[in-house]
């Protein structure tokens, strides 16, 4: 931003030693110094409120960052509490605001719904790491949409060797070997799903 501070307007050669000095110049100098303090206060306050910090989290509010080179950055991991049989909810949310890598551990069949993904001005991506509970039968996770949104799913090789859309519902069983899927969205009508695989 352009500063409003006007240091050049201050007469640094006043007062002049050994002669009478016009008090109006004193007043003008003090008035300009006070005005510059006000500008300094406002500009410093703005910088404290609206610039990136090294000692705090930063919310850029959708502003575009260009010309940046990222080194040694990480995605935030959000691990939800284990979803147990005793929990009453049938629908659980993959909330984009919780981070770009999310972990779910399920001890019952659930529905997963995607919320707070961007629908304009960029692509929102989340990787899901999904676990079961080592039960005799797998747990079923059904991916659901709302408000007229539909899924487009990647193709996978079926057990018979054919190529099919990856399954929805999908099943998870192991508590140590996750199923990984990638989710991304950039408009109000479509959520894209990519089945990365069952990691062992």
pLDDT digits (tens, 9 = 90+) for 26-51: 888 888 889 989 989 998 898 888 88
- Whole-angstrom distance, CA of residue 140 vs CA of residue 132: 9
Higher pLDDT, residue 22 or 181: 181
Q: Which of 109, 118, 123, 112 is nearest to 172 (CA)?
A: 109
- Whether residue 103 contacts residue 79, with contact meaning beta carbons closer than 8 Å, is answered with yes
* Mean pLDDT of the 55-83 span: 89
Rg (CA), the chain: 30
- Whole-angstrom distance, CA of residue 104 vs CA of residue 187: 25
pLDDT at 103 (0 to 100): 96
Edge to edge, the sheet with strand 124-131 lists 77-79, 101-105, 124-131, 179-185, 190-198, 150-153
Q: Residue 111: helix, strand or coil by DSSP?
A: strand
What digits encode the pLDDT tens for the residues 112-170? 999 999 888 789 999 999 999 998 889 999 999 877 788 988 887 777 777 777 888 99
C-alpha angle 39/41/44, rounded to 5°? 105
Structural domain spans, the chain:
1-63, 77-198
């Amino acid at each position: 931003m352009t500063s409003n501070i006007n240091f050049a307007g201050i007469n640094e050669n006043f007062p002049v030693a050994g002669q009478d000095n016009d008090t109006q110049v004193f007043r003008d100098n003090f008035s300009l110094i006070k005005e510059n303090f006000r500008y300094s206060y406002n500009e410093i306050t703005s910088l404290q409120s609206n610039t990136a910090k090294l000692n705090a989290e930063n919310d850029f509010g959708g502003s575009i960052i260009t010309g940046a080179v990222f080194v040694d950055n990480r995605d935030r991991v959000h691990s939800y509490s284990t979803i147990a049989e005793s929990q009453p909810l049938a629908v659980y949310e993959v909330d984009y605001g919780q981070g770009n890598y999310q972990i779910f551990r399920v001890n019952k069949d659930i529905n997963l719904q995607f919320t707070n993904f961007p629908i304009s001005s960029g692509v929102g991506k989340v990787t899901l790491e999904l676990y079961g509970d080592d039960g005799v039968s797998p747990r079923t996770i059904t991916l659901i949409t709302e408000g007229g949104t539909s899924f487009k799913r990647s193709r996978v090789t079926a057990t018979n060797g054919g190529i099919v859309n990856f399954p929805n519902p999908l099943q998870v069983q192991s508590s140590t070997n996750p199923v990984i899927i990638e989710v991304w969205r950039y408009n109000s009508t479509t959520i894209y799903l990519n089945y990365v695989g069952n990691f062992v």
